[in-house]
Chains A and B, each alone.
Chain A
Amino acid sequence: NAGVTQTPKFQVLKTGQSMTLQCAQDMNHNSMYWYRQDPGMGLRLIYYSASEGTTDKGEVPNGYNVSRLNKREFSLRLESAAPSQTSVYFCASSDLSRAGYTFGSGTRLTVV
């Protein structure tokens, strides 16, 4: 099925560990996004990529890095995880039309 695939679905990290969240889309969309969603809050933009080869900071970029590996893939890296990064992370893509964003099913990350 066409869409956005995120891996892993669940992850537990110890404080200070690093990890990369993977995201791939097969809809030939140019723009891709990473959001985090905390309990009782909406979606907050971490980073986005308007097109292959470009990335820009969103609202809450501190503690994260991203790589737009190719048109399909956009990864999010936590270099030194902190408990404040415990959240659900969503990747999304868009063709910048009124068709809107297509979201993945999320990665639930717990940092202990």
Chain B
Amino acid sequence: TQLLEQSPQFLSIQEGENLTVYCNSSSVFSSLQWYRQEPGEGPVLLVTVVTGGEVKKLKRLTFQFGDARKDSSLHITAAQPGDTGLYLCAPAVTGTASKLTFGTGTRLQVTL
């Protein structure tokens, strides 16, 4: 089982602030995914990063895959209350189902 560690575990910020959360592993991944889980719902896929050094933007969210494909970061610019939720990273499951598991998650609270 490949272990993914996310940091920080909890983050409470005010609307308008910027933040970065991290997903780290000692393993190399072919690709990695970020999910957001809102309270009372299941996780929803935000993005898949594939190439080392790749940067993807989704409105105010910027995702980066490390050059060595062992880590990734998510940067949120000008956070809004709608960004509140649990952010999870996971190796992309492709080809064959396996025990690939999710990171521990970062719980983000954005207040007015």
* Chain A residues within 8 Å of B, Cβ to Cβ: 4, 30-31, 33, 35, 41-45, 48-51, 56, 58-59, 90, 92, 94, 96-106
Contacts and interface: CB of A to CB of B under 8 A. Distances in A.
A43 B41 CA distance: 13
A31 B43 contact: no
B101 A90 contact: no
Contacts of A58: 99, 101
B33 interface: yes
B92 A50 contact: no
Nearest to A43: B102
B63 interface: no
A30 B96 CA distance: 10
Interface residues of B, number: 29
B42 interface: yes
B93 A59 contact: no
Interface in B78-104: 86, 88, 90, 92-99, 101-104
Nearest to A6: B42
B104 A42 contact: yes
28 contacts: A30-B97, A31-B93, A31-B97, A33-B97, A41-B105, A42-B88, A42-B102, A42-B103, A43-B88, A45-B101, A48-B97, A48-B98, A51-B97, A56-B97, A58-B99, A90-B42, A92-B42, A94-B93, A94-B97, A97-B94, A98-B33, A98-B92, A98-B94, A99-B45, A100-B35, A100-B48, A101-B35, A103-B44
Contacts of B43: 43, 90, 101, 103
A72 B52 CA distance: 35
